[in-house]
Amino acid sequence: MYKTEANRIIVDAADLDIKATLECGQLFRFEKIDGGYTVKSGADSCNVYSVGDEVVIETSAVDYFVNFFNLDRDVNRLKRELARFPELTDPLNSCGALRILHQPLFETIISFIISANNNIPRIKTIISRICAEFGGVFPSPEQLANVQLRTLNALGCGYRSQYIIDSSKMCAESDLLNRLYAAQTADAQKMLMSLPGVGQKIADCVSLFALGRLEVFPIDTWMFKTQRIGMESETQVRTRLMNKYGAYAGYAQQVLFYYNAILRKGQI
């Protein structure tokens, strides 16, 4: 449950585990501050912190962050649905009310292109540098399409620089972004993978974190390492787990990632 006030959203802590939500690998534009976090998305920002059994989100963009944090979704119902799988007991108990965010589509595409073969601190730094070039907000497709290759190289994008420019041009010069929202998941993923630098894993991440397609299960290094059976390929692991967890596969993936890659990192 949550309620809104002028410049504030107040959420029951039982409905939002802010640490698990922000640190589970789905978001790169956040920083720890005394007592909480600063979160940025698009041109908006908020401060998030805990007070007793509540989470307070301070922002001038209240409606935006109600949508961003998906506060109208009953995340505890998702957890109850997945609780029938014994292997998810510890991950579900460890993550509290982790919420899958509803992030801006273009920003998510570019952020996950940057994430390829990269680590989270460096991804965050590169995205922060790009935003700084545009006054602290995430640029539009048109803006990024016109950035010089050498500029993105200087910001640390490396071989991804050309992918960023080319994908931005495709988004700027077509109605691709609008069509993605309306498309069935399989069709949306084909469209996403038509973008330079976007493969299956990035398409899954964008589908999950921007389009809200909970049926996908992104396979990254941690998921492949911890979920593989025998000599399965990444595609086989993904297919098996999507079939197993069904409509909530994406939520299962996030709690498994948070549990294995964040909470238990170094133990496995």
**Tens place of pLDDT for every residue, the chain, 268 residues?**
899 999 999 999 999 999 999 999 999 999 999 989 999 999 999 999 999 999 999 999 999 999 999 999 999 999 999 999 999 999 999 999 999 999 999 999 999 999 999 999 999 999 999 999 999 999 999 999 999 999 999 999 999 999 999 999 999 999 999 999 999 999 999 999 999 999 999 999 999 999 999 999 999 988 999 999 999 999 999 999 999 999 999 999 999 999 998 888 767 5
Please tell me the pTM assigned to this model: 0.96
Q: Running DSSP on this structure, what letter comes out for residue 212?
A: -
- How much is the pLDDT for 268? 59
Here the contacts of 159-163 (C-beta below 8 Å, separation 24 or greater) are 160/113, 160/114, 160/116, 160/197, 162/196, 163/113, 163/195, 163/196, 163/197
H or E stretch covering 78: helix 75-82
- How much is the pLDDT for 267? 73
Which neighbouring-strand residues pair with 45?
40
- How much is the pLDDT for 123? 97
- How much is the pLDDT for 265? 79
| Cβ-contact 219, 238 below 8 angstroms | yes
- How much is the pLDDT for 169? 98
Alpha-carbon distance of 18 to 258, in angstroms, equals 13
